[in-house]
């Protein structure tokens, strides 16, 4: 009976470790995980011997691996964090990770505006589309556009103005 317990415990521990290793949200290869654990061991050993933290370069030299591999392995074993994770709570209102990484340049309003304008441009005539494209997306002057498509600068100006007015009407 006692020998069954001695055999069973390591097997059960092994099965638990395998389950935890294989059933994470993000799968990380065993070789990457093993490298990360070797890095941790060397960091501890280095700290005890030298009394300071080892740099990535020093760890790479000790383990005879590329420093990029060390960085990748350490990043790979980090637990994923939800963007909905609260980072601060004052009892009334929480601040979430999503609030901390907000992109003020690419807001939802600008995204909708761009879609709306793109749809409005699709409704222009081919000549209006060409002129709008060359003027605003290729940054050409009215004179350059006129020479390129073989009309006068005044015609380019008039077509451009009509196209912009058309976009404004569709945009509202």
pLDDT digits (tens, 9 = 90+) for 66-112: 999 999 998 888 877 777 888 778 778 888 877 777 667 767 777 77
Task: Calculate ∠ Cα 167-170-172, nearest 5°.
Answer: 110
- At 134 the pLDDT is 93
Q: Which pair of structure tokens corresponds to residue 109? A: 């309003």
Separation CA 124–CA 130 (nearest Å): 9
Tell me the domain boundaries of the chain. Answer: 2-80, 123-171
Helix pair 56-63, 30-50: axis angle to 10 deg: 110
Separation CA 28–CA 40 (nearest Å): 17
pLDDT beneath 70, residues of the chain = 1-10, 20-26, 102-103, 106, 172
- At 1 the pLDDT is 42
C-alpha distances (whole Å) from 60 to each of 38, 39, 71, 130, 161 are 11, 9, 10, 56, 62
Evaluate whether the domain defined by 2-80 bears CATH number 1.10.10.10. yes
Sign of CA dihedral 58, 63, 66, 67: negative
- At 2 the pLDDT is 42
- At 142 the pLDDT is 94
C-alpha distances (whole Å) from 75 to each of 43, 80, 85, 112, 124 are 15, 10, 19, 35, 50
């Amino acid at each position: 009976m006692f020998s069954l317990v001695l055999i069973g415990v390591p097997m059960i521990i092994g099965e638990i470790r395998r389950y935890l290793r294989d059933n994470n949200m993000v799968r990380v290869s065993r070789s990457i995980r093993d490298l990360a654990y070797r890095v941790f061991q060397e960091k501890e050993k280095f700290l005890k011997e030298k009394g300071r933290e080892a740099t990535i370069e020093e760890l790479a030299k000790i383990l005879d691996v590329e420093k990029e591999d060390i960085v990748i392995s350490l990043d790979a074993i980090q637990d994923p964090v939800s963007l909905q994770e609260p980072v601060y709570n004052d009892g009334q209102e929480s601040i979430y990770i999503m609030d901390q990484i907000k992109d003020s340049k690419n807001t939802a309003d600008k995204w909708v505006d761009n879609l709306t304008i793109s749809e409005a441009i699709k409704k222009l005539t081919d000549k209006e589309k060409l002129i709008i494209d060359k003027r605003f997306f290729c940054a050409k002057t009215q004179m350059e556009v006129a020479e390129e498509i073989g009309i006068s600068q005044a015609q380019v100006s008039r077509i451009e103005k009509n196209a912009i007015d058309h976009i404004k009407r569709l945009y509202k």
